[in-house]
Amino acid sequence: MSVMQKIISCGTRLDAVTGPLTRLARCSRGIHLGSTDSAARKLIPNEYEEPLIRTSIPGPKSKELLKNLDNITKNTGGVQYFVDFKESLGNYIVDVDGNRFLDTFMQISSIPVGYNHPAVLDALRDPEYLHIMVNRPALGVYPGSSFPTSLDRALLSVAPKGLKHVQPMMCGACSNENAIKQALLWYRREKRGGDPPTQEELETCLHGQEPGCPPYTVLSFDGSFHGRTIGCLSMTHSKPVFRLDIPSMDWPCAPFPRLQYPLEDFEAENRAEEDRCLKEVARQIEESRAKTRDVAALIIEPIQGEGGDNHASSYFFNQLQKICKEHGVAFIVDEVQTGCCTTGHFWAHEAWNLPEPPDFVVFSKKMLTGGYYFKEEFAVDGPSKVFNTWMGDPPKLLMLAAVVDVIKKEGLLDLARESGQHLMDGLQDLQAKYPQHLSRARGMGTHAAIDSIDGDTAAKIVRMARDKGVIMGACGKQSIRFRPSLVFQPHHVDIAIDTFNDVLSQL
């Protein structure tokens, strides 16, 4: 079994690559796991001890604010409650009605070291950086003198091995958009042999016609999510709500493996499934080229998030990179959700042991700012080809630099592994105790999920857990997912698993 298979196997996880961790003592309830020594010290001073529910959810203040907001935006269907961010701390989010929740979802996986971490607050309070906060420069034209140093400290210091260049952006969607754009520019440059564009290309491109706009395509995967902008929607295949009524480009979509669990019981079947998907990737690339609709780039998530926390083995990703190399296709890894330690690796693709780095690695969410790392041969060959007004956000780099310092000083990468194992142990126990409700526990680090029997039951579980003071997420057709902060300790896991058990006992 490969390292990646061991990591995501139900029953054998990160201890397969980081050394064994002691199985933790159980309490009388049968699933609540005793905390390890690391839980004795709070990583966030004065963090709350437990959830506290004072009103129904949403409470009266949230309901009143919701009416006001709906009058303004007419787009409040997803709002659950309004947050008192001043009172939120560490792993706990507090709403305007005084309800306090243990947050294992963290603003859709985008808060790295919890709410109001002192180190991040201190970075923003420093008067030396006040001018950076009040001025938002057009970084592609007028960057401040501290910008190169900020990029080095915040982004290059944690760059994936072998990637020495980074392009900052604003969010995950625009990062994916521009990584794709840069890959397409590279592909066209390669096809021209380095020659400048012709006059005909310059004229026809303004009308979206060939040869100025070549019919190149980007291959993505069934179940994928890469953003909600028009270009990214053409590579997103996870939920109808994302794409319904929106025109999109006719780009190829390959199957992503659907593994059977526990992995050690289905090695042959899962290898056959991955080989089937790899064969289809190669077929689609070859078929597209035969139709003069070359696949210029392939984009993939290490773990499909919105599509249902779908995993694949290191074998699959190694073979995928090999196919891209053989066909001259850019290999883009979308680490918007998986980047920044959540999987027990700073970058999830590190677990694959690739012979060389991906061509692009895209980031956002827990990295606080958006952007992508890339190989030197993919650099743009002229100004304004990859460009927008801001191309990043300097205050976010200050925050990220503080976060990186905290990760190193507090050993949060190791904590993600420890808490991740603790979480998976708890999910396994729940799965064994409630087989009529749960199956397919899986994860890397604290980036974990488990399936319910159907979507309605998953939604009900998430809602009931919230009403008991624990925030969980949902994804795919019937999965419940966990995306806690990097300061999520084993004693926080205990609270989440105990609440999960209470919910299941009431179904």
| 198 catalytic per annotation | no
Q: How far is CA 408 from CA 88, 320, 386, 396, in A?
A: 24, 32, 32, 18
Q: What confidence score (pLDDT) does residue 40 get? A: 60
| Alpha-carbon dihedral 103, 106, 108, 109, rounded to 10 degrees | -130
Q: What confidence score (pLDDT) does residue 292 get? A: 96
Contact between 424 and 173 under an 8 Å Cβ cutoff? The reply is no
Q: Which of 149, 198, 292, 389 is catalytic?
A: 389
Contact between 155 and 165 under an 8 Å Cβ cutoff? The reply is no
Which strands form 92-94's sheet, in the order they lie side by side? 92-94, 100-103, 470-471
Largest Cα–Cα distance in the chain? 77
Token pair listed for 454: 């159907």
Q: Which of 6, 365, 396, 468 is catalytic?
A: 365
412-433 helix and 394-410 helix, angle to the nearest 10 degrees:
80
b/e map 459-473, b = 16+ CB within 10 Å: eebbebbbebbbbbb
**DSSP class per residue in 27-41:** -TTSSPBPP-GGGGS
In the chain, the domains with their CATH numbers are: 3-119+410-506 (3.90.1150.10), 151-392 (3.40.640.10)
Q: Which of 105, 225, 363, 374 is catalytic?
A: 225
Q: Give the list of residues 6+ apart from residue 19 with CB closer than 8 angstroms, or none.
A: none
Distance, in Å, from the CA atom of 165 to the CA atom of 136, rounded to the nearest integer, reads 23
Rounded mean pLDDT for each run of 10 residues along the chain, 507 residues in total: 41 32 34 45 94 98 98 96 98 98 98 98 94 94 96 98 97 98 97 95 97 98 97 96 94 97 96 98 98 98 97 98 98 98 98 98 98 98 93 96 98 98 98 97 98 98 98 97 98 98 97
Token pair listed for 136: 């938002």
Token pair listed for 464: 């009931």
Token pair listed for 345: 């690796």
| 365 catalytic per annotation | yes
Q: Which of 97, 103, 294, 334 is catalytic?
A: 334
